[in-house]
Structure 1
Amino acid sequence: MSATQIDIDDDALADAMRLSQAKTRKDTVNLALREDAERRRRTEARLRHFRAARGWDEEGFERQHRAEKGAA
C-alpha cells in the first residue's frame, strides 16, 4: 500500500464515515475507492451487454447475460 497525502473535504469524509460505519479515515477512503471501481465495472458490463445486444432478439441478450453472469 502506498502513502499519499491529499486534501479531502472534511464534511464529505465525515458523512462517508458515518454512512459506511468505517472506523478510520483510511478505511473510509479505501472503501470508497473500491466501491467506485466496482460501480464503474458494473456500468461497463451493462454497456457491453447493450452494445452486444444491438440487433439481437431477446433470447440472444439473455443468453449473453447468463453466460457473463455465470463467468463472474
Structure 2
Amino acid sequence: MTVTQIDIDDDALERAMALSHAKTKKEAVNLALQYYADRQERAARISRHFERARQWGAVEAAERLHDEEKSGR
C-alpha cells in the first residue's frame, strides 16, 4: 500500500461514498480505482473480441443482416 497525499474533489468523493456505501475516504478512492481499472480491462477485452469478429467477417455479416431486416420493414 502506498501512502499518497492528493487533492480530491470533495463533491465527487461525497457522491462516490454515498453511492458505494464506503465508510471511509480511502475505501471510496480504492473502490473507484478498482472500478476504473476493471472497466478499462473489460473494454480492452471487448475490443479484442470485436477485432477478431471483424477478421472473421462476422461484423460485416451482422451489418448486412441488419440492413436486410431494416429494408424489409
- TM-score class normalised by the smaller sequence: 0.7 to 0.9
What RMSD in Å do the two structures reach over aligned CA positions? 1.1
Structure 1-normalised TM-score?
0.76
Structure 2 residue runs of 5 or longer lacking an equivalent are 59-73
The count of aligned residue pairs is: 58
* Cα deviation code 1:10-64 (max 9, x no counterpart): 0000000000000000000000000000000110000000111114255xxxxxx
Structure 1 residue runs of 5 or longer lacking an equivalent are 59-72
Q: Which one has a bigger Cα radius of gyration?
A: 2
Structure 2-normalised TM-score?
0.75
Percent identical among aligned pairs is 57
One-letter amino acid matched to 1:3: V
Distance 1:54 1:15 in 2: 40
Runs of 4+ in 1 over 6 A off after TM superposition: none
1:41 partnered with 2:41? yes
